[in-house]
Amino acid sequence: MVFNRCARELLMAAGNVSVISHDWWFYILATGHGGQVHYDPRPAIDYRQHGNNLIGSNTGILDRIFRIRLMLSGHFHQWNDVNLRALAPQIELLTQSNRVILERFSKARAASLPVRIKTMLRSGVYRQTLMGNLGLVAAILLRKV
């Protein structure tokens, strides 16, 4: 990860937080603050994979099946709990529009199915890929988000 001085200062303001994935946490915090994230189409290093990775690559069918099992077992729901707890003291660092998204997302997670669907749709929460968005819809329907 490479980031500018503003992003560094944002991280310093947030301080030490206990999260599942530090790069995902930084993505949430930076974009919630109004920052932009740029993905280099030509990475300069290889992604290090090993048997103890919490989250590995998502390129093969077995990887996708593994992620579906994680979602169904409640891991993603727990990880969202951790991220929401980490964001709570940082709420003032978020833009007003992202505070609204966060509030809607938080409320929708505990709502009845019709309210959950409506509130999630209104929240503007999305994933980066078609498969990710289909997984998000499934997680919303199954109350696993």
Confidence of residue 142 (pLDDT cuts 50, 70, 90): very high
Structure-block tokens of residue 30: 């930076």
The number of beta carbons lying within 10 Å of the beta carbon of residue 121 is: 13
- Cα 70 to Cα 41, 67, 97, 102: the distances in Å are 28, 5, 30, 23
pLDDT of residue 72: 87
Write down the pTM of the prediction.
0.82
SS3 at position 10: helix
Residues 87, 32: contact at Cβ < 8 Å?
A: yes
* 118 confidence band (pLDDT: 50, 70, 90): very high
Q: Summarize the confidence of residues 97-118 as an average pLDDT.
A: 94
Phi/psi region, residue 48 (left: phi>0; alpha: psi -120 to 50; beta: rest), is: beta
Evaluate whether 99 touches 90 at the Cβ level (below 8 Å): no
pLDDT tens for residues 48-78?
Answer: 666 666 565 566 788 778 888 888 888 889 9
Tell me the CB-side half-sphere exposure of residue 15, using CA atoms within 13 A: 5
Confidence of residue 127 (pLDDT cuts 50, 70, 90): confident
Q: How far apart are CA 139 and CA 109, in angstroms?
A: 10
Average pLDDT over residues 109-119: 93
How does the average pLDDT of the chain come out, rounded? 87
> Quick one: average pLDDT of 28-37?
94
- Pick the closest to residue 35 from 12, 80, 14, 4 (CA basis): 4
